[in-house]
A and B are shown apart, each in its own frame.
Chain A
């Protein structure tokens, strides 16, 4: 092609288009201005990025959204006629409803007023402090416990989903032994016989648990060990963080747990570690991280290197997409740069391994800049490696933290709280070996679903079938249950007593909210049965344990120990104050020994090239344990916005190279084992790599989990637990439809240009008050010009408003889950999501900017913004949506006739319509978990965020009875309460000292779609990137 042909085809051959272009923000050319911040164009999906501005994307109600499935208008009217005829037949007087009072009302219960109980949930062994709301004995909502010293008051999606999991009708309900129902009392006798008749000190008895830090379990294990001294205890987790413990083992000669203090960290380098989004302590990390995001001198900086976007990656100031297997190379590049700096001579030996580790193949400039930044912030920096990385990487990272003087400041090491720190493939492979050798007669499994979670090469399911006595305690009739001879339904977290430690070692108590609905047993009750103690129940066991141990704890020492009152205090708090454990001291790095063992590990590390597959815990179902929870299944993935699915994530470049498009089904072959997984192109993914999330492709009897997604475990090997190279990916003939919400609820459904909804600026731009960025931002706030006389709300007692700080929001979905639970929001199912009918009142718009494979992300939670001059109000023909005296945009469901005009006219697209009656599908048990303070909406009714008006009114009533005003912070919306990073604040704008007023007056504040003149009550604070000048 010759050069002149590349000029634009000038039809007239003369002057360029004479038409003047209006200076519309979004039509500014994006790539050049990318670093200019405000004008940077954002997009939601690759299709969205590719579309021309005139082309229409998915409308507000995408094709099919308004159709009744399989029913056209005519047959609908026929149906309607029939329904009316039937309705006429039953038009008699309604029988009076029943009121059923207590026979004996518990003293603490006031019918109609909820109670809050401190409890806890230990997902990976470590406890998160929670508060459970209970109405007349029915738990309805889980929130974070603000007093808990370790989790600090946030609650994640998994914690909050417990309420729905509790009432799941699919939960196992019957103890069975060799296919026959059996009573617990009978089984207890069998278990005692097992102990009595065990030959050789129980050497043929094995216990396989999940990760646990429980002091009670530790005590029971010891007691069992006195009876069966040769019985072995093992833990297994499909998402084990073994690398961290192997690393400290390598470094200090014993496994130690790493604890991070992000509040003290100014510069952070995360190497494939999702410290803000998953894993032990992420709630604390997110809060500490966000607290240091205020622009200014103390603002922190985060570097992230990872293969696929994680929540932590979205928060990065600089992100590098690196395959999991190339992370060591990047780490060594950082080490070798640092080793050249004065004062880092210790690192020279490690740096000499850089060549062997392949450090030349990575972006040395990036690594060097990071290294210099870490050096500049000596003692205030932090390097973290993730669970996918092998032990030697963790060891080098720890050595780096020592060299940077960070240990004792931002990172510390402590004796592990986990009873079995190493709980990944190695101990499980040993167990499998023993079973195969016929050395195991009794296998007691109390951890989550080891058969499903085990790597495919272990064939654990077949092996377990060979064990003469296999006992499994599980919530569901899952894969392990069907392989086991004896199955015992487990009690849910909210049904049993337990204890666990937080990530700082604080002892946290789990108290039940309800008696077991279907007679489940707790892990401690099962273990106690081996001692003949299970009649005590989990409560009795826990109290017995702490009444003797409690004296040793702070508060118990000195003076007479009144256990009962101390116990009551612990339960009320939810934890034992002051029981955190101290970090280990006197640790030092032996560089000679370290570099020798690292050199060995580096030389042994696989050098294979080719396509890499990496595994990850899923943000929705984790390792599969939440797969039967519809709330979680329908929660859009924080990055891909996919619901009800997992997928093989690839970069655009890799997809092109392999000939894949989103929706193609790939056959992935690893060492002869295959799995079919639909492909999805994900911006920001590393090239030549595939990421497949765990937890899907279930074959159990769980009705919701079964048959969704692809089972990553099928191609997982015990010697390549987290990633592996040499994957063969071929295209199958099938294709797959994803239920993606990323293009739903577009704020420009007709394709018109709107200013970027989510705004990102750099720290420099924000701090320079005269920057073009700030001038542009100035135009996106303040009183809009309007012909209407705005209502004056300043005389009201309260003027409710909200502010969301995009600089703190990690996009973790906790708010979406809190809203769903608080407001009785239905789950609609995959097909309905495809039709654009998902009902979440608050959605998190995840915006990309830049080129597909190097895209940056900013998250924007968006519920109803409660416009003061709301476009929805004018168009409602029946006044179903109106404004309150305090400016709330209210929705009166019983007035709504379902015209959907309000939603059409809503510029933010935050209204949700009940196309079908989604609630009759809710099983009777789950109805117990509904919030009685919120109307359950029926078909044909519009709904939307109410700013949790039920909480406003309850608090208002309580304070008015006390004849006082509502204090700032006393009233929290569900999303605000749960937010781990405190990105959302709510309160009265008429109180100048309230947090929300301050946020509204912040210089980073802007209004979404300000130019429409809606005067929204929810304001946004721009995202700030603290760029390293060397890399900017």
Chain B
């Protein structure tokens, strides 16, 4: 009786072992790749809102500063989504009959808040504070991307802990003069490294990387 396994089976065994190992590594790699992909991070995924609010129009065409609507960004942990009344500051006069703005008028007259869908979200155990970042010269665009070019707002950065720490370990490249924080197009003049160093000193930036800086 011939043996059950022939010499060729050695090769087969080796190849299947290699395929198995490669498969395991590949699966792991694929999963890690997936976790880092824009899809898994919910990036490049414009969120449809209950109202077709267009940032392009308001910031570029009308030149409204971010802080007109997001008015608590420099004094509160939350940037603040505008109250309905704020929309009507203008829209009681401008486009006050537009059917597009019906949800706003409805909210105002029925005293029912608008329900916006969150775009940039950090987990509940992360206590991000807008005020300190804005007051130390981190621009809106640094984290939120070119909102002035988005028809519907989408997440522009991964917002992972690694991404946060990158800046907290070396804040210089992301700093700008405090008065330029809402400028979407600001670029450092001259040597960016030196500019960052000077700004960090002027704005008294002391980034921290202890857990409780964000997790409490």
**What does the 1/0 interface line of B131-145 toward A look like (CB < 8 Å)?**
110011000000000
**What does the 1/0 interface line of A71-110 toward B look like (CB < 8 Å)?**
0000000000000000000000100111111111100001
Cβ of A946 under 8 Å from chain B: yes
Instruction: Say yes or no: B83 contacts A104, CB within 8 Å.
Output: yes
A988 to B63, CA, bound (A): 46
Residue in contact with B75 in the complex, picked from A113, A934, A935, A950, CB distance below 8 Å: A113
Instruction: Say yes or no: A961 contacts B118, CB within 8 Å.
Output: no
Residues of A contacting B127 with CB < 8 Å? 933, 950, 953
Residues of A contacting B123 with CB < 8 Å? 894
Kindly specify which of A148-156, A541-549, A881-889 makes contact with the partner chain: A881-889
Instruction: Say yes or no: B210 contacts A110, CB within 8 Å.
Output: no
CB of A932 to closest CB in B, whole Å: 9
Among A99, A797, A936, residue most surrounded by chain B Cβ atoms (within 10 Å): A99
Cβ of B117 under 8 Å from chain A: yes
CB of A112 to closest CB in B, whole Å: 4
Knowing A96-B117, A96-B119, A961-B131, the reply to whether A103 touches B211 (Cβ < 8 A) is no
Residues of A contacting B210 with CB < 8 Å? 884-886, 888, 890
* 19 A-B interface contacts by CB (under 8 A): A97-B118, A97-B121, A100-B115, A104-B83, A112-B80, A113-B75, A113-B77, A882-B211, A884-B211, A886-B210, A890-B210, A890-B212, A891-B211, A892-B211, A892-B215, A893-B125, A946-B212, A960-B204, A961-B132
Knowing A885-B210, A961-B132, the reply to whether A112 touches B77 (Cβ < 8 A) is yes
CB of A148 to closest CB in B, whole Å: 28
A101 to B111, CA, bound (A): 11
Cβ of B67 under 8 Å from chain A: no
Query: Interface on chain B toward A: helix, strand, loop, or mixed SS?
Result: loop
Residues of A contacting B117 with CB < 8 Å? 96-99
Chain B residue, CB-CB nearest to A884 = B210
Residues of A contacting B146 with CB < 8 Å? none
Chain A residue, CB-CB nearest to B213 = A953
**What does the 1/0 interface line of A949-982 toward B look like (CB < 8 Å)?**
1101100010011010000000000000000000
How many chain-B residues does the 8 Å CB contact rule pick out?
43
Cβ of B151 under 8 Å from chain A: no
CB neighbors of A among B74-102 (8 A) = 75-78, 80-85
Residues of B contacting A884 with CB < 8 Å? 208, 210-213
Cβ of B72 under 8 Å from chain A: yes
Q: Kindly list the 3 A-B residue pairs having the minimum CB-CB distance in the complex, ordered from nearest.
A: A884-B210, A112-B76, A112-B78
**What does the 1/0 interface line of B171-182 toward A look like (CB < 8 Å)?**
000000000000
Cβ of B163 under 8 Å from chain A: no
Interface residues in chain B, defined as those with a beta carbon under 8 Å from any beta carbon in chain A: 42, 47, 72, 75-78, 80-85, 107-108, 111-119, 121, 123-125, 127, 129, 131-132, 135-136, 204, 206, 208, 210-213, 215-216
Instruction: Say yes or no: B114 contacts A96, CB within 8 Å.
Output: no
Q: How many residue pairs, one in A and one in B, have C-beta atoms under 8 Å apart?
A: 121
A893 to B214, CA, bound (A): 12
Cβ of A111 under 8 Å from chain B: yes
A102 to B107, CA, bound (A): 10
Residues of B contacting A98 with CB < 8 Å? 115-118
Instruction: Say yes or no: B204 contacts A963, CB within 8 Å.
Output: yes
Residues of A contacting B124 with CB < 8 Å? 935-936
Knowing A110-B72, A112-B76, A112-B78, the reply to whether A957 touches B216 (Cβ < 8 A) is no
Instruction: Say yes or no: A934 contacts B118, CB within 8 Å.
Output: no
Chain B residue, CB-CB nearest to A881 = B211
Knowing A96-B121, A935-B124, the reply to whether A103 touches B112 (Cβ < 8 A) is yes
A946 to B125, CA, bound (A): 15
Among B81, B111, B216, residue most surrounded by chain A Cβ atoms (within 10 Å): B216
Knowing A101-B81, A103-B108, A890-B212, the reply to whether A96 touches B115 (Cβ < 8 A) is no
A100 to B82, CA, bound (A): 10
Instruction: Say yes or no: B113 contacts A102, CB within 8 Å.
Output: yes
Residue in contact with B84 in the complex, picked from A104, A950, A963, CB distance below 8 Å: A104
A216 to B190, CA, bound (A): 71
Knowing A110-B76, A113-B75, A953-B127, the reply to whether A101 touches B215 (Cβ < 8 A) is no
Residues of A contacting B131 with CB < 8 Å? 957, 961
Residues of B contacting A113 with CB < 8 Å? 72, 75-77
Residues of B contacting A890 with CB < 8 Å? 210-212, 215
CB neighbors of B among A649-704 (8 A) = none
A23 to B119, CA, bound (A): 66
Residues of A contacting B42 with CB < 8 Å? 93
Instruction: Say yes or no: A935 contacts B212, CB within 8 Å.
Output: no
Instruction: Say yes or no: B83 contacts A933, CB within 8 Å.
Output: no
A890 to B209, CA, bound (A): 12
Instruction: Say yes or no: B125 contacts A935, CB within 8 Å.
Output: yes
Instruction: Say yes or no: B212 contacts A949, CB within 8 Å.
Output: yes
Chain B residue, CB-CB nearest to A105 = B83
CB of A60 to closest CB in B, whole Å: 25
Instruction: Say yes or no: B113 contacts A111, CB within 8 Å.
Output: no
Instruction: Say yes or no: B75 contacts A103, CB within 8 Å.
Output: no
Instruction: Say yes or no: B212 contacts A103, CB within 8 Å.
Output: no
Among A103, A111, A893, residue most surrounded by chain B Cβ atoms (within 10 Å): A103
Residues of B contacting A891 with CB < 8 Å? 211
List 18 additional A-B contacts (Cβ < 8 Å) besides A103-B84, A104-B111: A96-B119, A97-B121, A100-B116, A101-B81, A102-B113, A104-B83, A105-B85, A112-B76, A113-B72, A113-B75, A882-B211, A884-B208, A884-B212, A894-B125, A935-B125, A936-B124, A953-B213, A960-B204
CB of A825 to closest CB in B, whole Å: 14
Chain B residue, CB-CB nearest to A893 = B125
A100 to B49, CA, bound (A): 12
Residue in contact with A888 in the complex, picked from B75, B135, B212, CB distance below 8 Å: B212
Instruction: Say yes or no: A103 contacts B83, CB within 8 Å.
Output: yes
Chain B residue, CB-CB nearest to A101 = B81
Instruction: Say yes or no: A111 contacts B72, CB within 8 Å.
Output: yes
A111 to B79, CA, bound (A): 9
Residues of B contacting A935 with CB < 8 Å? 124-125, 215-216
A886 to B209, CA, bound (A): 11
Residues of A contacting B113 with CB < 8 Å? 100-103
CB of B70 to closest CB in A, whole Å: 11
Residue in contact with B114 in the complex, picked from A100, A933, A953, CB distance below 8 Å: A100
CB of A958 to closest CB in B, whole Å: 8
CB of B168 to closest CB in A, whole Å: 12
Chain B residue, CB-CB nearest to A882 = B211
CB of A956 to closest CB in B, whole Å: 9
Among B107, B123, B208, residue most surrounded by chain A Cβ atoms (within 10 Å): B208
Instruction: Say yes or no: A946 contacts B216, CB within 8 Å.
Output: yes
A85 to B72, CA, bound (A): 44
Instruction: Say yes or no: B107 contacts A103, CB within 8 Å.
Output: yes
A101 to B84, CA, bound (A): 8
Residues of A contacting B212 with CB < 8 Å? 884, 888, 890, 946, 949, 952-953
Chain B residue, CB-CB nearest to A102 = B83
A894 to B131, CA, bound (A): 24
A261 to B167, CA, bound (A): 57
Residues of B contacting A950 with CB < 8 Å? 127, 216
A933 to B216, CA, bound (A): 7
Residue in contact with A961 in the complex, picked from B83, B119, B135, B208, CB distance below 8 Å: B135
A232 to B52, CA, bound (A): 66
Residues of B contacting A961 with CB < 8 Å? 131-132, 135
CB neighbors of B among A848-893 (8 A) = 882, 884-886, 888, 890-893
A892 to B80, CA, bound (A): 27
Instruction: Say yes or no: B208 contacts A885, CB within 8 Å.
Output: yes
Instruction: Say yes or no: B80 contacts A957, CB within 8 Å.
Output: no
**What does the 1/0 interface line of A929-946 toward B look like (CB < 8 Å)?**
000011110000000001
CB neighbors of B among A788-823 (8 A) = 797
CB of A697 to closest CB in B, whole Å: 41
Residues of A contacting B211 with CB < 8 Å? 882, 884, 890-892
A103 to B112, CA, bound (A): 7
Chain A residue, CB-CB nearest to B134 = A961
A93 to B42, CA, bound (A): 9
CB of B137 to closest CB in A, whole Å: 12
CB neighbors of B among A590-640 (8 A) = none
